[in-house]
Amino acid sequence: MIVKTTTGRPTEGLDEHREQLLAALPDGLELPHDGEPDSVWRSDEFRLHNRQARPPEWAKAEPQEMGTVVELSDIREGTELPYEMLIERLSYNREWLHHSSHKLTVVLAGDVPPTIGKGARATVVRPWAHPSTNWLTHAAGNSSEEVIIFDPTNSEKEPIEPAKDLSEVIAFDFRVVGKGPDGQVGQLQRPALLLEICGALPYAPNIEGLLSARTLPLLTFLGLEHASSIGAFCNSICGYARINSLRLKQALRNNKTTLASGPGSDAVQELRTYLGSIVKTLHRAWYNATRSSQDEAAKDAVTEAQEEVNLALKGVNRNPFKGGQIGRTEKQNTRQLSPSRSPTPLGMRRVP
């Protein structure tokens, strides 16, 4: 992946490798010192585990100019990139996209598949947002304040106390889908659970897997992988949590997809405990609603069966049973017991 960028901010980090960069820069291009305005378009090559500067491709930039161009290159022949998944994955960087000065446009060039219309060849990426649907319950707010989660099944309110152990504030908005027209708790077609830490996205949704794979990475981090009916719950919850924390940023692993736990990573455990208490409460409310829906469905099935039988007995409807007819008789069909099978009084033995 080739990234060309200029920041419009004071330069930093170039003096460390200044001699090597100057030897490879195009003629006439001046390299600013650290602390001076950024006046170059830098080109860097990113691979899975390393990064390399490409000084011959650097160019002059205005001190107040800002921008980034990303180009995918050297893609192995036969590699498929689902366009819709690419746009969705880029939309997960909500904090960056929400900034008024930031804009991300994906442009398709070259031999574009005919299935993609001309209007979709330049797509402005919007920040991910909750789908428009009926919600059962939700938890939204900041970790510095008390948050109330309402369980509509039991008409109970559960408070989540402020996170006193966290030095930075977490902003979050988690929601659980509600019941559909059939009275059953529904499912989301494209759920997502996002944890944003200083612009990074650890435990991002696996959008190439099954529905439950979209939200299971974060639920596993929070310790809910073995919760009751977790597979169904994965498809019923979505939302995000965002925090800018230096301690958590330092806990990010090199690939930015997980947080390192263990000694010296108290911030990770504090984050996990607080978010886990929120999601566990939402799971309990969802579980109560799901059990209530199942009980109501069972009662409705029994009631419907009783009505069918009663109507059949009255001769209003055809008999729902395939074998024979249901009729009413006054005679009680009781089986007569033979003397050898007559009941024995309590405390007496039968003599053969």
Average pLDDT over residues 83-109: 86
Q: What ranges do the domains of the chain cover?
A: 2-124, 135-293
Q: Which of 51-65, 228-242, 248-262, 309-323 has the lowest mean pLDDT?
A: 309-323
Q: Nearest CA to 2 among 69, 81, 65?
A: 69
CA angle (242, 245, 251) in 5-degree steps: 105
Could you give the CA distance from residue 149 to residue 219 in angstroms, rounded to a whole number?
18
Which of 35-44, 103-112, 222-231, 290-299 holds the top average pLDDT?
35-44
In whole numbers, what is the pLDDT of the chain averaged over residues? 82
For the cut 80, the answer to whether the pLDDT of residue 112 exceeds it is no
Determine the pLDDT at residue 128. Answer: 93
pLDDT digits (tens, 9 = 90+) for 184-226: 788 898 899 999 998 889 999 988 777 788 899 999 999 988 8
CA angle (113, 117, 119) in 5-degree steps: 135
Q: 3-state SS of the chain?
A: CEEEEECCCECCCCHHHHHHHHHHCCCCCCCCCCCCECCEEEEEEECCCCEEECHHHCEECCCCCCEEEEECCCCCCCCCCCHHHHHHHHHCCHHHHHCCCCCCEEECCCCCCCCCCHHHCEEECCCCCCCCCCEEEEEEEECCCCEEEEECCCCEEEEECCCCCCCCCCEEEEEEECECCCCCECCCCCCCEEEEECCECCCCCCCCCCHHHHHHHHHHHCCCCCCCCHHHHHCCEEEEEEECCHHHHHHECCCCCCECCCCCCHHHHHHHHHHHHHHHHHHHHHHHHHHHHHHHHHHHHHHHHHHHHHHHHCCCCCCCCCCCCCCCCCCCCCCCCCHHHCCCCCCCCCCC
The amino acid present at 131, given as its one-letter code, is: P
Could you give the CA distance from residue 303 to residue 29 in angstroms, rounded to a whole number?
83
pLDDT digits (tens, 9 = 90+) for 229-268: 888 899 999 999 999 988 898 888 877 889 987 777 889 9
pTM: predicted TM-score of the whole model, two decimal places: 0.67
Average pLDDT over residues 22-38: 90
Could you give the CA distance from residue 271 to residue 242 in angstroms, rounded to a whole number?
11
Determine the pLDDT at residue 349. Answer: 52
Spatial CB neighbours of 163, under 8 Å, sequence gap ≥ 6: 143, 144, 170, 270, 274
